[in-house]
């Protein structure tokens, strides 16, 4: 009941039990092909094994139940696969799973499952970066209040906020792409990481096994070196943090009292069971929830790095579901954030209106800077600070206090005061930063 709220069907399917079983069968098929190429088993036997590595012939739930005594599903899968192959060729059945151990097949399947899920995640991330680039470009000069510690601080632009989102998404995408390209390696080491049962054919089989699967060939078996799995978790956690940042910004800006953005509307979206007027930012809320869970799951994967000798006593087992969930939830968060930024409603008038909430005091720093050119920094700061206190106490606009202050009036005209209090004139390098972010996007945009 809860699953579809957080993870789209395509992402859930990419990491489900059937996806793992399919990946394990792909590993078994590749192992047979590698054995044949290395001259270890007959080509006809390899072909028979490959034909039987058909996911439609097996039931992942049944394999899970039958795998309970062994503590993993690989032995049950090997038995079932051997039975299927024996129906075709008794000789070929003798070569099923030759030279491998359960962890070889399961770890290699983890790499294949991760690769397929990462492809989906990267597709969502590409959509997010495209949408953020559009927001940054379209709103390069859209004024809004910059906020620190949830309080208005100085003027900024919505384009710069979107540019910040964009750069962080591009960084996460770079890490994901590097992981997808070179961080996934085949696992083949046999019972204790020596491939002893393959004799002199061990390294040739490993090489062909990795080539057949399109995975990197690890220099040594990594049964208890879990840096690859941990790196997947770490990279997903990084992405989750980036997505959580965007989600929280949207949630805060969509508050009733702020009203600067709205999530894209949809039938029944954002509704409340008791309050019909509400339009909750549910896409961002669920994305933020996913991100929190991904970071916890990444910790589980990192904790599993402490393993004993040549085979872990429990840490390895803790990875399977944590990895699946981390991939699914990170993908679900990315899918939601993509939908948010692609359809985000930006209320420019409300942004401009909110700039006036402090009655000019948002520009007090600029007023003090301008005044310091005539009076010196300390005196100017003191005069503007006193004017701010009077404005707050009397609920008046800062302009009134500055204009009525005789010492300020002697050195600044009303026009100069108005210019100092114009938010459009105090944006510093905001526009240039947006341009730099967009240039980075163009350089890294997928071909």
The answer on 98 and 142 residing in a single domain is yes
pLDDT at position 445, please? 74
Query: Residue 278: inside a domain, yes or no?
Result: yes
Angle in degrees, 0-180, between the axes of helices 102-138 and 74-88, rounded to the nearest 10:
110
Within this chain, do residues 100 and 122 fall inside the same structural domain, yes or no? yes
Calpha distance 262→253 (Å, rounded) = 8
Alpha carbon separation from 12 to 5, 19, 52 (Å, rounded): 11, 9, 25
Q: Give the chain's domain count.
A: 2
pLDDT band with cut points at 50, 70 and 90 for residue 446: low
Of 274 and 101, the structure prediction assigns the larger pLDDT to 101
190 is a domain residue: yes
pLDDT tens digits, one per residue of 434-444: 999 999 999 98
Q: Which pLDDT belongs to residue 265?
A: 82
CA separation for the pair 46, 24 (Å, rounded): 16
CB 255 within 8 A of CB 267: no
Whether residue 162 sits in one domain with residue 53: yes
- Per-residue pLDDT for 67 more than 60? yes
Cβ atoms of residues 348 and 313 within 8 Å: no
Q: How far, in Å, CA of 363 to CA of 361, rounded?
A: 5
User: For residue 433, is it within any domain?
Assistant: no
pLDDT for 212: 98
Domain stop point among 318, 351, 384: 351
The yes-or-no answer on residue 273 being catalytic is no
CA distance 237 to 251: 20
Q: What is the mean pLDDT of residues 17-24?
A: 98
Answer yes or no: is 445 within a domain. no
**Residue in 112, 117, 115, 109 with CA at minimum distance from that of residue 8:** 117
The pLDDT of residue 358 is: 93
- Together in a domain, 64 and 34: yes
pLDDT in tens, 213-235: 999 999 999 999 999 999 999 99
Cβ-count burial 246-259 (b if 16+ within 10 Å, e if not)? bbebbbebbeeebe
Q: Coil, strand or helix: which one is 276? A: coil
Closest CA to 211 of 92, 15, 37: 37
Residues 9 and 80 in one domain: yes
Shared-domain flag, residues 346 and 363: no
Residue 71 lies in a domain: yes
Q: Is 156 helix (H, G, I), strand (E, B) or coil?
A: strand
Specify whether 127 is located in the same domain as 182: yes
Backbone angles phi, psi at 306, to 5 degrees: -80, 100
How many CA atoms lie within 13 Å of 81's alpha carbon, on the beta-carbon side? 31
Query: Both 343 and 218 in a single domain?
Result: yes
Catalytic residue selected from 79, 137, 311, 352: 311
Output the CA–CA distances (angstroms, integers) from residue 74 to 20, 62, 230, 241, 351, in the order listed.
11, 12, 22, 34, 58
Is residue 236 a part of any domain in this protein?
yes
CATH number at residue 388: 1.10.40.30
CATH code: domain of residue 112: 1.20.200.10
Q: What is the pTM of this model?
A: 0.93
71 shares its domain with 157:
yes
Give the pLDDT of residue 447. 54
Catalytic residue among 174, 272, 377, 429: 272
Last residue of a domain, one of 320, 351, 382: 351
Q: What is the pLDDT of residue 275?
A: 43
Q: Which residues pair with 217 in a beta bridge?
A: 186
Residue closest to 157 by CA, chosen among 425, 357, 341, 443:
425
Beta bridge partners of 120: none
For residues 417 and 419, give the distance between their C-alpha atoms in angstroms, rounded to a whole number: 5
| Predicted confidence (pLDDT) per residue in 114-148, tens digit | 999 999 999 999 999 999 999 999 999 999 999 99
- Give residue 364's domain range: 358-425
Inside any domain, residue 431: no
Query: What is the pLDDT averaged over residues 290-316?
Result: 96
Model confidence at 268: pLDDT above 80? no
Rounded average pLDDT over 25-54: 97
Radius of gyration of the chain (CA): 30
SS3 sequence of 301-358: HHHCCCCCCCCCCCCCCCHHHHHHHHHHHHHHHHHHHHHHHHHCEECHHHHHHHHCCC
Task: State the Cα–Cα distance between residues 119 and 115, nearest whole angstrom.
Answer: 6
Where does the pLDDT of residue 266 fall: very low under 50, low under 70, confident under 90, or very high at 90 and above? confident
Kindly write down the DSSP assignment for every residue of 391-412, as one continuous string.
HHHHT--HHHHHHH-HHHHTT-
Q: Do residues 244 and 128 lie in contact, with contact meaning Cβ atoms separated by under 8 Å? A: no
Question: Could you report the per-residue pLDDT of 273-297, keeping only the tens digit for each?
Answer: 454 455 789 999 999 999 999 999 9
Q: Which one of 334, 351, 368 terminates a domain?
A: 351
Claim to verify: residue 185 and residue 245 sit in the same structural domain? yes
User: Does 169 fall in a domain?
Assistant: yes
Task: List, for residues 408-433, the tens digit of each pLDDT value.
Answer: 999 999 999 999 999 999 999 999 99
Among 337-341, 403-407, 443-447, the minimum mean pLDDT is found in: 443-447
Cβ partners under 8 Å of residue 256, min gap 6: none
| Average predicted confidence (pLDDT) for the chain | 95
Q: Rounded to an integer, what distance in angstroms lies between the CA atom of residue 135 and that of residue 97?
A: 53
Q: Do 365 and 284 share a domain, yes or no?
A: no
Residues 151 and 299 in one domain: yes
């Amino acid at each position: 009941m809860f699953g579809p709220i957080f993870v789209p069907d395509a992402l859930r399917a990419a990491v489900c039990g059937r996806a793992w079983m399919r990946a394990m069968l792909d590993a078994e098929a590749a192992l047979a092909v590698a054995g044949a190429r290395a001259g270890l088993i007959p080509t006809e036997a390899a072909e028979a094994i490959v034909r039987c590595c058909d996911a439609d012939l097996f039931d992942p739930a049944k394999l899970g139940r039958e795998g309970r005594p062994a503590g993993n599903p690989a032995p049950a899968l090997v038995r079932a696969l051997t039975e299927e192959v024996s129906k075709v060729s008794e000789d070929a059945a003798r070569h099923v799973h030759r030279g491998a151990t359960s962890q070889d097949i399961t770890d290699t399947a983890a790499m294949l499952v991760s690769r397929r899920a990462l492809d989906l995640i990267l597709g969502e991330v590409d959509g997010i970066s495209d949408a953020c680039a559009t927001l940054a470009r379209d709103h390069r000069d859209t004024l809004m209040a910059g906020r620190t510690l949830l309080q208005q601080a100085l003027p900024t632009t919505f384009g710069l906020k979107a540019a910040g989102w964009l750069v962080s998404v591009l960084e996460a995408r770079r890490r994901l792409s590097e992981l997808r390209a070179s961080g996934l390696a085949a696992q083949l080491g046999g019972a204790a990481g020596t491939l002893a049962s393959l004799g002199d054919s061990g390294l040739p089989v490993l090489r062909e096994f990795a080539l057949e699967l399109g995975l990197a060939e690890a220099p040594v078996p990594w049964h208890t070196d879990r840096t690859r799995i941990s790196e997947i978790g770490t990279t997903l956690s990084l992405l989750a943090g980036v997505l959580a940042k965007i989600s929280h910004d949207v949630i805060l800006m969509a508050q009733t009292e702020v009203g600067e953005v709205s999530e894209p509307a949809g039938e029944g979206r954002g509704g409340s069971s008791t309050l019909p007027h509400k339009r909750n930012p549910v896409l961002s809320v669920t994305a933020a929830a996913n991100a929190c869970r991904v970071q916890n799951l990444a910790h589980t994967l990192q904790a599993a790095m402490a393993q004993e000798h040549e085979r872990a006593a429990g840490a390895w087992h803790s990875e399977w579901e944590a990895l699946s969930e981390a991939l699914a939830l990170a993908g679900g968060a990315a899918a939601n954030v993509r939908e948010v930024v692609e359809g985000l409603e930006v209320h420019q008038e409300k942004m401009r209106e909110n700039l006036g909430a402090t009655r000019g005091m948002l520009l007090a720093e600029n007023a003090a800077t301008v005044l310091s050119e005539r009076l010196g920094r300390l005196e100017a700061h003191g005069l503007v600070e006193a004017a701010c206190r009077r404005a707050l106490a009397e609920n008046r606009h800062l302009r009134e206090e500055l204009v009525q202050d005789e010492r300020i009036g002697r050195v600044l005209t009303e026009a100069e005061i108005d210019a100092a209090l114009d938010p459009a004139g105090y944006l510093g390098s905001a526009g240039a930063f947006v341009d730099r972010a967009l240039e980075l996007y163009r350089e890294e945009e997928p071909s």
